[in-house]
Each structure stands twice: as C-alpha cells, then as structure tokens.
C-alpha cells in the first residue's frame, strides 16, 4: 500500500513537470493489463521508426491516435544502432528516444519489442553482421558468446530508456517490452538448449527491472512472469499459458509483405475487422496491428531475401502516410465499438453460447453493465438469430457488437466509412532537371568496371560463400577467373560455343565473359538459389570470366536463418557443347572483390570529378552509375519516383539511399482473382493483385530529404535501362465512395455511452473530402435501390429511385462534407419489401 501511495504522489509530481505524463504502475492479471489499478482494453499498432522519417512521425502517430489506437508498437533494430560493435548510433531515423517521446507527446503508450531478434522482413532479422564472426557463437540458443551480446544490447536499450525516464514506472509511455520474437516457432530445431535459452532470456529480461511487464510472442512455454502472446491472422482461439495472464495479440497481420517478383498481397477490411472483433468477443483485451503503418525499407535494410523496398503491408496507413480508406475508417469504427464495451470487457470473462450452427454469442455481464458480441463464423450463409428476445441479422463471416446487449452499433461486414480511390499523377523528372549541371540529357554517368578494379581484391583457392566474404558491407561480390584456351582445346571446335554453368546460393548474379554481359540469373522469395547455363564464346588464348554475385537482403526468418549463406558456392563449370567435355572451375584460383569501385569512390553522394556528361548518354548498358540534379516537385503530396524503364540497382537522393529498385522483376501471371471474397479464413496468398506486372515500380522519396532545387539523384544500374524515363509520381484522391444499406447501423459517432441517440439516426452515407480546402465537386454516381459493383464501377440494379442523383447532388456539391439518410424518407420507395442501399461516388477538388 505504501508503495502505491508513493507512486501516485510521484506520478502527480511528474505530471506537473511534463506536458504528457503517464503513470505508472503497469501490472497484469487474468483479464487485462492493469495500468494504475485499472484493467484496460488496449488497441495497438506497429510503426517501425526507421521505416519512415522523423518528420513523418508526428503525423503518422496522430493518424494512429485518430484511428483509435492507444499504443504504438515498434521493434528495436540492433543492426541499425550498432552496425559496428560498441559504436552506437541513434541519429535521424535511428532516433529511438525521439520516436518514443513523439508517441508520448501524442498521449499514446509504447510497446517496445527489444528482441533483439526482430525478424520483421529486416536484414538478417535485425542482427548486426559482426555477431556472426564472434568465435564460437551460435545464435538464439544457450550459447555463452551469443547470450553475452544479447544481454549487453538489451541492457543498453533498457538503460537508454530508463535514463530518459521512458518507462511507465518512471512516468514515461512504455507499458510493455518484448524479449526474443516467435522463438517458439523454431525452438524444436535447437533441441533441449532451446528451453534453457528461453528460461535464461526470461530471467535476463526480468532482471533488468523495467517496472513494466515483458512479453514473449509465440512462446507457449514462456516462464512466469513473462506473458506469452499470440501472432497470426486470427487469435481468437489463443489461450495464454496461465490463468494469471491476459489474452494478448501482438501481431494481427493487417496485410502481408511484398517480395520482388511477388504479387501484391492485400487483406480485406471486413475480414480484418472480423478477426479483431472475434478476439475481443472471446476474452482478448490487447490487440496490435502488424503493421498499422508499414512504410519503406530504405537503404539496404530489407531482409528476405527478396523483400521489396516498399513495406506498405496493405496497412491502415499506406506506405506514404496517407489513410487507406475504408480500411482505416472501418477499423476506427470497430475500435470505438469495442471501447463502448470496455467496462464490461474488463469486468468479467465472457459467457459463450451457441445460437445455432456457426452462430455464437458471447456476453460480458457484470453488475449493471452488459456487452455482447454475436458472431456468424460461417463462410456461406447470412443468418438471423434470436438473442435476448430480439432478432438480429448476421451476415456470413461477421460479428455484431452490442455494447448494451441490445443495440448493434457495428457489424464488421457493414462498412460505414467512405472508400478513397487514389489516383496517381506522373510528372516528368526532366521538367525538374537542372540543366546547368549537365548538358543535353541532364544526366551524367560513370561506368563501373567489369571484374576486379579495387586494390583490396584478393586471391583464394576455390569458391567462397558470400556473406562470410563481404560481411554484408556491400550487396556485391566479384568472382573473377582468367582462363587460357589453347587452340586445340575442345571448347573451340569450329568457333562453336561453350556453356558456362553456374550454381549459386543466390540471390542473383550477372555473368560476364571477356568483359561482356552474357547472362543473368535470379532466385525468388521461395527459393533464392540460382542455377544457370549461359552460352559463351571463348577465344584462343586468354579469356576472362567475371561473375558478379549479389545479395538482395539477408535471410530474416527460420531456424538457423543466419547460416543460410549466399553467393556462388558452385559448381562453376565450362561445358563444351559439341562433345560434352566439362571442366570444373570451382577449385581454381579465383580473384575476389568485395563491393564496387563506385562504392569505394563514394559515388552514391554524387561527388567525384569523373562524372561524364559530354558524350551521348549511354542507355541500356549494364554496370553504370547515373547522376542528375532535379527540383522538388511542387505541392506537399508525398513523392515517389517511378522507375519504369530501369533494370535493377540502388538509388540515392542527396546521398540518402531510397532503397534497392528492381522494376523489371514481375510477378507470375496467375493467382490474382478479380475480387477477393473476404468470407472465410485469410492467408497470405488468398488475396493478391498485380499479377504479371512489376512487383514494385514506385519508390518513396521522403519530402524531408528534398530541398526546393538542386537535388542530386544517383543510380547504380546493374542490368541496363534508360534513366531519362524516370518520372515523379504523386498520389491524389481520385474518388470518394460509400455504399450503405438500410440494414447498416447508424454511424458509430452518433452512439454515445447510453446508446440512446445512435439508435435514432439510422443508416447514413457520410462523405468528407479529406484534404483541407477541398469540397465535393461532382457526384459521379448515385443510386438508391439495389445498386451493384464497387467503387469506380457502380451500376444501377433492377430497382433504383429516379431522384437519387439530384438529392445527393443537392446535399453534397460545394460542401466539404455531407450526410444523407439511407431511407425511403429521403428517397421515396422504389421497390417495396426489398432491402435497399445507397451507393455514391463523388470527387473532391
Ligand atoms: C512474424 C514476425 C514479424 C514479421 C511477420 C511477417 O512471424 O514476428 O517480425 O516477420 O511475421 O510480416
């Protein structure tokens, strides 16, 4: 008791000192996290600080708060902060303290997942490469060298947070921390040492005395007091390993990640909302979206291999920081509905009963409060259920939320939020190129030499594994070999060709014979390995074979992921086509070069006096650096560069890497359906778009990296392309759409805690132009009756009121926002006895 009293006074004093103060005592029990003695229902969302810029953070966090989040979750990325052992870096996008304080300034809590293993589609799962070279080290198991480093880094981060007073126990926003990450998924592979490692990790974390609970995700055997939590597309069936721990969901995947060469995954919001509601229906009290804002994998931070530079994730806030609608809005409504139930939710366990096949009610009744969730988990049929003497219609794969056990304030399949369809407008880079810098095309260039060009090249017998050789200092490793062909060797019979056979662990390679690109190979996210047969022409006398092997993000997931390896481990063979003679070159003396000459010269920054702008700009040529200067596109919309026309490489704006680009890597032609049925269990390959098209053409250039004029853009192009085809792409809102039926609940904001007002208004279409200063300028479509189709493609059904368009025009045009009752009172009744809906497509200017 004395302790609590002291804490309260302490917190009160802190509250006087700081603008936002959080207090203080975070514990947990069977039902929930308990903050200052109060059980809490908490909605959380992942935003990884280095995947955006400090200039973007306040807006992203505010949009998260507006979307109904209480908590922001982030991993801590070890390899960002300590890329060189014992040299810490917390500057710019790595400014973890600033990020946590920015979240605190918005009044939100933080869940800090220290790991330090992160996974996260992040290079090497977040481990710094030097860790791999510590003698005797074994990652993520009961191994002294590993444990010593893991403990040092974890303690370093805890210490940093404590020094800045960022834990809730100190008046800060951090209410939760994670140690390890999904180790339970791979523990089997580590044998009995797995158990002792996890026990050690738990004890180590606990000993750091953060004053707030620790969690382990996907760790069924997490020892007390660590809370084991669930990750997945659904976690309603999850149970923590002790009745003293709350049911928590640390990763609800809002979509899925994209790979180069992959189709673009998306997750329908009706299904996501269903998963969230089911979780709270069955006893959950903490839920985190992974991701709420996915952002961008700048530089060489992507893991994989083959993870794309975009980490959009189909999250409620898109890669560029723009609200994805109706996803963001519908989830906001779900959060409000759940919060209306909070008192009942934290008060008791639910009583779950069956209302028929696939139909389930959960009731939280305690004292004078009562909240209920009604679910139809069937994938086919809509149903009508009787509950507490009333009748409720429940669409398939949906949950209705009744904060008073009577009124439905929300059904997860009925979306009140308007959709926003983006339109992308292109603008030539050329208009923005500063022509004083370079003549003619506005571009200058430097050729990257084929093969060995650096002084630090070295010779080794046999083929070397790449990651051990480069320590990931660069994506690139040259394997170079001279071959002497005598006139009488079989390869040369009548000048016929030879086949160069190369096998590599991946991830991609370019083969050059006598200085010329003769072939390329690449793996994919499912199989990184490359095996190529490349026809080459050798000449009598000296020949040179130069193999450029490259990585595209290091493995981040799986047991022993750190040992996956990359590069040309062989065999490398020459096969004579004519008589089948084969020479194995694998154990010859190869010459190696780590990285490119241009990297050594610092070309990414645009410096060097060697840039050539006098002769004709070379196009479609492999291994070339390009540079130009450009002005910032006007306006304040987020900026992307469209790389259509280029091959593969990396790009830098004012010296900052915007990431790897690879617009020629297209996804397979098949596997995308025109629409995706949200009913039924979701998986990462269920809803895909963009089949047969480049996986990623647009690359985010944060506004804050630009100055109004004279920006430097540098590209390193591996395969060949035309840089003059580059253009800017900005995103605007194309259309605003809403489709609401007579059976939709009133908009959630019309319900207050006593639930009287909401029930009166009735279903309503609400349209609002999201950009300040804009008004609704036209109604492209309006139909009351039985309209069909989706935004951008609505059509009238059999039944439609003739007055709909003029009524909607009258209510909306010229206004920033408008609301129209979806009812025969507004439109008259075009077809009695049929449930009608109103579909509207509008545009704002
Ligand atoms: C989880 C992991 C996350 C992320 C996610 C997929 O298994 O914990 O870090 O990799 O999968 O996006």
Q: What is the pLDDT of residue 487?
A: 75
Determine the distance from the C-alpha atom of residue 379 to the mean position of all C-alpha atoms in its chain, rounded to a whole number. Answer: 28
How far is residue 106's CA from residue 124's CA, in Å, rounded to a whole number?
32
Residue 815 CB partners (closer than 8 Å, separation 6+): 775, 776
Does the pLDDT value for residue 319 go beyond 80?
A: yes
**Adjacency order of strands within the sheet including 649-653:** 443-447, 624-630, 711-717, 649-653, 656-661
CA 108 to ligand 1 centroid distance, Å:
23
Does the pLDDT value for residue 271 go beyond 60?
A: yes
Task: Give the containing element (helix H, strand E) for 544.
Answer: strand 541-550
Q: Which of 304, 557, 685 to mutate to test the pocket of ligand 1 (most atoms within 8 A of CB)?
A: 557
Lowest mean pLDDT among 379-388, 663-672, 684-693, 756-765: 756-765
Q: Are 62 and 106 in contact (CB under 8 A)?
A: yes
**pLDDT-derived band at 576, boundaries 50, 70, 90:** confident
CA 268 to ligand 1 centroid distance, Å:
19
Nearest-atom number in ligand 1 for the CA of 256 is 12
Residue 487 CB partners (closer than 8 Å, separation 6+): 540
CA 541 to ligand 1 centroid distance, Å:
53
Q: Are 298 and 50 in contact (CB under 8 A)?
A: yes
How far is residue 92's CA from residue 702's CA, in Å, rounded to a whole number?
13
Nearest-atom number in ligand 1 for the CA of 181 is 8
Nearest-atom number in ligand 1 for the CA of 120 is 9
Nearest-atom number in ligand 1 for the CA of 185 is 7
Residue 23 CB partners (closer than 8 Å, separation 6+): 7, 8, 11, 14, 15, 35, 36, 168, 171
CA 302 to ligand 1 centroid distance, Å:
13
Residue 786 CB partners (closer than 8 Å, separation 6+): 797, 798, 799, 800, 831, 834, 836, 837
Task: Give the containing element (helix H, strand E) for 383.
Answer: strand 383-387
Residue with more model confidence, 169 or 755: 169
Q: Which two tokens stand for residue 112?
A: 């800090």
Q: Are 133 and 124 in contact (CB under 8 A)?
A: no
Residue 61 CB partners (closer than 8 Å, separation 6+): 47, 72, 102, 103, 106, 108
Nearest-atom number in ligand 1 for the CA of 119 is 9
**pLDDT-derived band at 99, boundaries 50, 70, 90:** very high
Nearest-atom number in ligand 1 for the CA of 121 is 10
What residue's CA is closest to ligand 1, atom 9?
A: 120
Q: Which of 113, 182, 289 to mutate to test the pocket of ligand 1 (most atoms within 8 A of CB)?
A: 182
CA 120 to ligand 1 centroid distance, Å:
5
Instruction: Please state, as a whole number, how many other Cβ atoms lie within 10 Å of the Cβ of residue 20.
Output: 15
Q: What is the pLDDT of residue 488?
A: 73
User: Alpha helix (H) ranges present in 239-326?
Assistant: 269-281
Angle (nearest 5°) at CA 229 between 223 and 230: 140
- Region of 566 (left: φ > 0; alpha: ψ -120 to 50; beta: rest) is beta
* Mean pLDDT across the chain: 93
What residue's CA is closest to ligand 1, atom 4?
A: 120
What residue's CA is closest to ligand 1, atom 6?
A: 120
- Any residues with Cβ below 6 Å from ligand 1, and which? 119-121, 181-182, 231, 251, 257
Closest residue by Cα to residue 243 from 30, 2, 502, 515: 30
**Active-site hit among 82, 251, 503, 717:** 251
Task: Give the containing element (helix H, strand E) for 660.
Answer: strand 656-661
Q: Provide the angle, in degrees to the nearest 10, between the axes of the packed helices 144-163 and 96-105.
A: 40
Residue with more model confidence, 753 or 339: 339
Q: What is the pLDDT of residue 96?
A: 98
CA 119 to ligand 1 centroid distance, Å:
6
Q: What is the pLDDT of residue 15?
A: 45
Q: What is the pLDDT of residue 308?
A: 98
How far is residue 324's CA from residue 317's CA, in Å, rounded to a whole number?
5
Supply the DSSP string of 107-148, one letter for each residue: T-EEEEEEES---TTBGGGG--GGGGGSTT--TTSS-HHHHH
CA 254 to ligand 1 centroid distance, Å:
12
How far is residue 422's CA from residue 427's CA, in Å, rounded to a whole number?
16
Q: Provide the angle, in degrees to the nearest 10, between the axes of the packed helices 57-66 and 96-105.
A: 40
Q: What is the pLDDT of residue 213?
A: 98
Average pLDDT over residues 139-156: 98
Determine the distance from the C-alpha atom of residue 123 to the mean position of all C-alpha atoms in its chain, rounded to a whole number. Answer: 14
Nearest-atom number in ligand 1 for the CA of 291 is 12
**Active-site hit among 182, 489, 532, 632:** 182
pTM of the model: 0.95
Nearest-atom number in ligand 1 for the CA of 75 is 9
CA 292 to ligand 1 centroid distance, Å:
14
Query: What share of the chain has pLDDT > 70, as a percent?
Result: 94
Q: What is the pLDDT of residue 754?
A: 64
CA 125 to ligand 1 centroid distance, Å:
10
Residue 118 sits at φ, ψ, to 5 deg, of -115, -30
Q: Which residues of 772-781 are buried (b: 16+ CB within 10 A; e: fewer)?
A: eeeebeebeb
Q: Which of 111, 123, 186, 251 to mutate to test the pocket of ligand 1 (most atoms within 8 A of CB)?
A: 251
**pLDDT-derived band at 393, boundaries 50, 70, 90:** very high
As a three-state string, the secondary structure of 582-647 is: EEECCCCEEEEEECCHHHHCCHHHCCCCCCECCCCCCCCCCCEEEEEEECCCCCCCCEEEECECEC
What residue's CA is closest to ligand 1, atom 5?
A: 120
CA 583 to ligand 1 centroid distance, Å:
44
Q: What's the chain's Rg over C-alpha atoms?
A: 30
pLDDT tens-digit series, residues 346-372: 999 999 999 999 999 999 999 999 999
Lowest mean pLDDT among 7-16, 637-646, 741-750, 815-824: 7-16
Does the pLDDT value for residue 17 go beyond 80?
A: no
Does the pLDDT value for residue 558 go beyond 50?
A: yes
Average pLDDT over residues 19-31: 81
Residues forming beta bridges with residue 736, ordered by sequence position: 420, 842
Query: What share of the chain has pLDDT > 90, as a percent?
Result: 87
Q: Which two tokens stand for residue 60?
A: 């992203």
Q: Which of 124, 231, 249, 555 to mutate to test the pocket of ligand 1 (most atoms within 8 A of CB)?
A: 231
**pLDDT-derived band at 5, boundaries 50, 70, 90:** very low
Do β-strands 458-461 and 639-642 pair in parallel, antiparallel, or remain unpaired?
A: unpaired
pLDDT tens-digit series, residues 413-458: 999 999 999 888 898 886 665 544 444 578 999 999 999 999 999 9
What residue's CA is closest to ligand 1, atom 10?
A: 120
Catalytic-residue membership of 182: yes
Does the pLDDT value for residue 505 go beyond 90?
A: yes
Nearest-atom number in ligand 1 for the CA of 313 is 12
Average pLDDT over residues 665-688: 95
Residues forming beta bridges with residue 589, ordered by sequence position: 461
CA 291 to ligand 1 centroid distance, Å:
10
Catalytic-residue membership of 251: yes
Q: Which of 46, 120, 124 to mutate to test the pocket of ligand 1 (most atoms within 8 A of CB)?
A: 120
Q: Are 336 and 749 in contact (CB under 8 A)?
A: yes
CA 466 to ligand 1 centroid distance, Å:
25
What residue's CA is closest to ligand 1, atom 3?
A: 120
């Amino acid at each position: 008791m004395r302790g609590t009293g002291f804490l309260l006074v302490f917190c009160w004093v802190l509250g006087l000192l700081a603008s936002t103060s959080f207090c203080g005592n975070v514990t947990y029990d069977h039902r929930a996290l308990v903050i200052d003695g109060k059980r809490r229902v908490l909605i959380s969302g992942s935003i990884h600080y280095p995947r955006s810029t400090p200039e973007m953070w306040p807006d992203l966090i505010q949009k998260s708060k507006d979307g109904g989040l209480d908590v922001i979750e982030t991993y801590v990325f070890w390899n960002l902060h300590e890329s060189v052992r014992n040299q810490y870096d917390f500057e710019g996008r790595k400014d973890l303290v600033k990020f946590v304080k920015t979240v605190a300034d918005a009044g939100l809590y933080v869940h800090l997942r220290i790991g330090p293993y992160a996974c996260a589609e992040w290079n090497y799962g977040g481990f710094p490469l030097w860790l791999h070279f510590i003698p005797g080290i074994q990652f993520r198991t009961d191994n002294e060298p590993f444990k010593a480093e893991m403990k040092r880094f974890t303690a370093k981060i805890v210490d940093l947070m404590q020094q800045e007073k960022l834990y809730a126990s100190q008046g800060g926003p951090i209410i939760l921390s994670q140690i390890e990450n999904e180790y339970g998924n791979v523990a089997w592979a580590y044998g009995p040492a797995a158990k002792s490692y996890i026990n050690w990790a738990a004890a180590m974390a606990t000993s750091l005395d953060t004053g707030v609970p620790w969690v382990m995700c996907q760790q069924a055997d997490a020892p007390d007091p660590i809370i084991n939590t669930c990750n997945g597309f659904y976690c309603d069936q999850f149970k923590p390993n002790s009745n003293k721990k709350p049911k928590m969901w640390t990763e609800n995947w809002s979509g899925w990640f994209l790979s180069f060469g992959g189709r673009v995954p998306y997750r329908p919001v009706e299904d996501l909302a269903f998963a969230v509601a089911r979780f709270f229906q069955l006893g959950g009290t903490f839920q985190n979206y992974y991701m709420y804002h996915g952002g961008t994998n700048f530089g060489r931070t992507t893991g994989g291999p083959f993870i794309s530079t975009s980490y959009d994730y189909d999250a409620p806030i898109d890669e560029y920081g723009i609200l994805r609608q109706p996803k963001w809005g519908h989830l906001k409504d779900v959060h409000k509905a759940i919060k209306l139930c909070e008192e009942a939710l934290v008060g008791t366990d639910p009583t779950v009963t069956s209302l028929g096949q696939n139909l389930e009610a959960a009731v939280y009744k305690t004292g004078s409060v009562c909240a209920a969730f009604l679910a139809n988990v069937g994938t086919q049929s809509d149903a009508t259920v009787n509950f507490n003497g009333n009748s409720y219609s429940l669409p398939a794969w949906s949950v209705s939320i009744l904060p008073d056990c009577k009124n439905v304030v929300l059904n997860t399949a009925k979306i009140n939020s308007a959709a926003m369809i983006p339109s992308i407008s292109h603008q030539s880079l050329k208009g923005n190129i500063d022509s004083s810098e370079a003549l003619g095309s506005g571009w200058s260039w430097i050729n990257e030499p084929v093969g060995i060009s650096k002084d630090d090249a070295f010779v080794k017998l046999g083929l070397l594994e790449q990651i051990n050789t480069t320590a990931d200092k660069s994506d690139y490793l040259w394997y170079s070999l001279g071959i002497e062909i005598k006139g009488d060797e079989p390869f040369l019979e009548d000048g016929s060709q030879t086949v160069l056979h190369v096998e590599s662990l991946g991830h991609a390679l370019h083969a050059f014979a006598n200085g010329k690109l003769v072939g390329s190979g690449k793996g994919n996210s499912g199989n990184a390995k490359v095996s190529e047969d490349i026809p080459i022409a050798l000449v009598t006398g000296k020949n040179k074979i130069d193999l450029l092997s490259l990585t595209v993000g290091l493995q981040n997931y799986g047991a022993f992921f750190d040992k996956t390896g990359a590069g040309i481990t062989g065999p490398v063979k020459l096969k004579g086509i004519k008589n089948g003679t084969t020479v194995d070159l694998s154990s010859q003396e190869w010459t190696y070069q780590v990285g490119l000459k241009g990297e050594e010269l610092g070309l990414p920054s645009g410096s060097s006096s060697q840039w050539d702008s006098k002769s004709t700009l070379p196009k479609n040529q492999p291994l070339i650096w390009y540079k130009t200067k450009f002005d910032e596109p006007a306006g304040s919309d987020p900026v992307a560069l469209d790389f259509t026309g280029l091959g593969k490489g990396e790009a830098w704006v004012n010296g900052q890497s915007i990431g790897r680009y690879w617009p020629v890597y297209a996804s397979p032609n098949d596997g995308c359906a025109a629409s995706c049925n949200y009913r039924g269990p979701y998986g990462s390959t269920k809803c895909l778009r963009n089949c047969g098209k480049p996986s990623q053409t647009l690359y985010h250039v944060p506004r804050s990296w630009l100055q109004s004029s004279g920006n430097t853009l540098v590209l390193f192009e591996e395969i060949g392309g035309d840089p003059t085809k580059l253009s800017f792409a900005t995103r605007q809102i194309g259309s605003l759409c809403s489709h609401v039926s007579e059976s939709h609940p009133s908009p959630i904001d019309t319900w207050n805690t006593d639930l009287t007002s909401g029930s009166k208004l009735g279903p309503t279409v609400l349209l609002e132009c999201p950009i300040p200063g804009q008004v609704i300028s036209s109604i492209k479509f309006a139909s009351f009756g039985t309209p069909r189709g989706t935004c951008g493609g609505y059509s009238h059904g059999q039944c439609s009121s003739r007055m709909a368009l003029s009524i909607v025009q009258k209510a909306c045009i010229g206004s920033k926002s408008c609301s129209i009752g979806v009812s025969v009172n507004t439109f008259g009744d075009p077809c009695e006895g049929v449930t009608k809906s109103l579909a509207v497509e509008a545009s704002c200017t």
